[in-house]
Amino acid sequence: MSHIKIRGGHSLHGEIEVQGAKNAALPIIAASVLNNGMVHLRRCPQIMDVHHMLRILQQSGAGIMWDDGDVWIKTDQMDTVAVSSLDAGKMRSSIILLGALLGRGQEVTMPYPGGCTIGARPIDWHIDALRKMNVQIDLKENKIECKTTGLKGNRIELPYPSVGVTENILLAAVLADGVTEIIHAAMEPEIADLCRFLKKSGACIEGEGTERIRIKGVKTLHDTEYTIMADRIAAGTYMAAAAAVGGEIVLKGIHIENVRAVADVLVESGCGLIIYKESIKIIAPSMLLAVKEIETEPYPGFPTDMQSQMLACLCQARGDSTVTEHIFENRYKVVPELIRMGGNITVDQRRAVIHGPCRMHGEKVEAKELRGGAALVIAGLAAEGETVIHGSEHIERGYQDICRDLGQLGAEICCITDHTERRWEDN
C-alpha cells in the first residue's frame, strides 16, 4: 500500500496546469459507448476511477489506447449485455453506465455500484427515471437486470437535482424515441460538459447548465474528438492549500465561473485573486480570517466536494469558522484525524465549528475517503514536522498526481509505493 509523506511549513509559489475533471471524464467515458466507432478524449485525467471505468468498457470488448492525457475509445466490437463486477463494484459512478448501455442495446446486467463511504447514495431515483423511459428493471440480491423493447422519451421531474441521475437520464435519452425533459436537473459544470460532448457527437440537447434540460432523441452518434474541462475540485483544493500555508500560485486552464463559490469564501478569508481568461492567481494573506458560515449546496452553491479541504484550511484562520454539510451525512470522517494533528474542531450533527488558528503538528494519519484525504494533505502542508498519510489510494481516485503538483509549487511532499520513495528533491 502507498502512503504520502509531507514536511510542512513551506509556502507555495509558482504555477501548474489543472488536470482534467474527474466528474466530467467519467460520464463522458460512459457516453462513448453510445457511438459505434471511435471517441478521442483530450485532457483525460489518469486517475484510479477513470482507469476503473475504462477497464469496465475494455472487459465488454472496447478498445482502449492511452497516450499521456489522450485516450482513444473504440466501441464497435463492444458486447454490452453484462458488466463485470471487478471494477463496477469499486466505484459509485458505474451506475451511469445503465443509461448509456441501454441506449446502445436493449438488455444490461450489472452489479450494484460501490466505492462510496461518505453517505447513503440510493439508486432509487436512477431506477424510477429509467422505468419511466420504458425499462423493465429487476433488482436482484447482487445485481441489477434491465431490459427494454426500446427507450422512450418522457417528462421526468427529479425530487432533488442529483448529478448522477441527471447524467443517467441524459445518456438514456440521447438515442431514445421521442423527447425527454428533465425538470430540476443538476446544473453542475460537469453536466454541461457532458452535454457539450454529446452535442458535438450529434445529440440534440437544449438547456444544459439550467434546471430544465430537453433532449430530442436521434438515430445515431458519430466519432468525436473532445477536450474535457479542467477539474474545479482539484483547482479548489490547490487554492485552499495556498491559502492555508501562504504564498502565491497560478492555476492554469481553469475558469473562475467554475470555482466561484470557493473563490468567494477565500476572498472572505482575506485572500487576493487575480482572474485571467483561463487562469487564476491566488495570493494568500499573512493571516487568514475566519469565515462566518459555509453551507454546502448543489451548484452554484459551495460544493460538498470542497468541504473537507476547507475544514483543514480554516484551521489556519483567526477566529471561529462554521461549516454546515447539507449533502452527505458522513462528510466529517476526516475531523478526528485533523484533531490528532492539532485541529480545534467541534461537530454537532451536520454542523462543524473550527476554532482557529490551530497549531498543527505532523502525525501518522489515515485517509478514509477521497476529499478527506486531500484535506489531510493540506493539514500536513501547514503542520510543523512530518506527516505521513496512509490510505493514499483514496486520494488517487481523484487527483492525478497531487504530490507532483504540490511539489512543483514548492511543497516537500513525496509518495512512497512498494517500498520505493520519491526523493524530496525529485519534486
Among 343, 345, 341, residue whose Cα is nearest residue 322: 345
Give the separation between CA 14 and CA 354, rounded to whole angstroms.
Answer: 29
Cell of 16: 501548474
Give the separation between CA 374 and CA 79, rounded to whole angstroms.
Answer: 37
Give the separation between CA 167 and CA 170, rounded to whole angstroms.
Answer: 5
Element (H, E) at 53: helix 48-59
Give the separation between CA 274 and CA 285, rounded to whole angstroms.
Answer: 14
Is 204 an active-site residue?
A: no
3-state secondary structure 369-400: CHHHHHHHHHHHHHCECEEEEECHHHHCCCCC
Among 97, 398, 164, residue whose Cα is nearest residue 298: 164
Element (H, E) at 22: helix 22-31
* Number of residues in the chain: 427
Give the separation between CA 263 and CA 285, rounded to whole angstroms.
Answer: 14
Catalytic residue among 44, 116, 146, 315: 116
Among 169, 177, 174, residue whose Cα is nearest residue 212: 169
In terms of C-beta density within 10 A (0-12 exposed, 13-18 middle, 19 or more buried), how is residue 257 classed?
A: exposed
Cell of 224: 468525436
Q: Are 390 and 367 in contact (CB under 8 A)?
A: yes
Residue 7 DSSP SS3: strand
Q: Are 399 and 371 in contact (CB under 8 A)?
A: no
Cell of 9: 511549513
Residues with a catalytic annotation lie at 116
